Structure 1
Amino acid sequence: MTKNKMNFSGTFYPDEKNELLKYFDYFKKSEEKIELDINPRAIIVPHAGYIYSGSVANIAYNLSKNINSKRIIVIGPSHRYYLDGASVSLFDFYETPLGDLSIDKEFASNLIKKFNWLNFDENAHMEHSTETQMPFIKNYIDKKVLEIVYGKIDFVELSLLLSELLKDNNNFVVISTDLSHFYTLEEANILDQNCIDAIRKQDINLLDENCEACGIIGVMALINASKKLNYKVEFLDYKTSYDVTKDDKSVVGYSSFILGEDIVI
């Protein structure tokens, strides 16, 4: 049995189970109660160290903990390894401090057959944008996962995959992205508000022109699919690294959203 090993535990998030659970408990206690009027089908979450962005991501996962989907598809940008297209993990398990997650290899293999820009490149899967999501998934949802890491790809192509995935209620999608990087706090707030407004409005042009985010391709692909599926978008939270460091000269922005259909009563 092969494992997608943890590469960023102990740096981006705790490598000890009890310490990690303390983080989740703290995040939950700090959250304001949000009443959703949509059935969650996808989330947009950050991927920085948990001390910086964990609380922002936690809201989205906590609100998604009762989903009925059978598998969680985590999609994030490659930061360290050049990719043409994207790679989907074909390991058997994904390791986390809370225990292993099963990878749906059969489903992943079928996707590779359908999309010629999708393959398995083992080197692509030492990636923090996706790994940081796995402890959240193990803690709150604990379903089978797929990890897709993308490089050079048009958002329209990725959107075709997302549209197909989201038409099946067995699939739940996680899009990983941080927002602006290394601006002053004032500049970051302006840039990040552009992104937040564009995502709320599901406006591809605004995203393309006025949003700075390392996972912008994934965000644009999800919004493109979301519009076709008539999903609603709910903004959840926004913070910057300033909230922790108190350094307003160079900050990174983080936000979270949840997308889905109207709840039918």
Structure 2
Amino acid sequence: MTTPTAGTGTQSIDRAADLVARVVRAESPVTFTELAGASGLARSTTSRLLAALERADLLARDDHGRWSAGALFDHYATRRSDDGHLVETADSTMRSLGDLTGETVNLGVARRGTVVQVAQVDSAYFLGSRDWVGTDVAAHCSALGKVLFAHGALPVPSGRLDALTPQSVTTGAALEAQLPSIRQDGFATTVDELEPGLTGVAAPVRHHGAVVAALGISGPTSRLAEDLRSTGALVAAHARALSARLDHHPQEGAA
């Protein structure tokens, strides 16, 4: 790994990122001397950056002063484990919803200020939705995202929003104005907002009352847009069933 050579404005960030990468990729905890020598940084600079990274929980020291990945990485790993439990529990519900509708079924969670889809059941139709798993979606244009906004799992953005299509919501205020009806109806819809010709319907998934995910279907507007309310009621019923499964099948080791 070479020492970062970025310009003045980003040099400290690049140097700190280099230190984090060296520690995380190491097979065992790394000493201060090893880090300073491998990075080519002055000892004073290395000390200052390591202290900042420790305060941010990106790195941590053991009893011998050696450096390893910090608590933030543990938190991230725990959340991934939570996703695995959620996906496993949701599988039968998602397949049931897919069998009834024939459409693509998606499960989305809030991550990094947007919605990330963690599981999908493909459409039974030749003309269906693409594979969205692992993709960060523009939450304000997604039915899954609107559900998460409506129930506080995602913070509502302010100011201008990207217009992905002519139908996209373009301001935080306009998005916020939709949220009360989403809460009242029990589901959210998008028609041609994320992609032209794509409609989505989603409902909240809860664990002990808190919204932890959104369950939804997506497919061509030509098939879905005419009967959104009955489709929304069907998706919401499956989301409630999944919520009940989560409450009765807690993750092993969870409180």
TM-score bucket of the superposed structures, by smaller chain: 0.3 to 0.5
More contact order relative to length (CA 8 Å, sep ≥ 6) = 1
Structure-2-length-normalised TM-score? 0.32
Structure-1-length-normalised TM-score? 0.31
Q: Quick check: which one's helix share is greater? A: 2
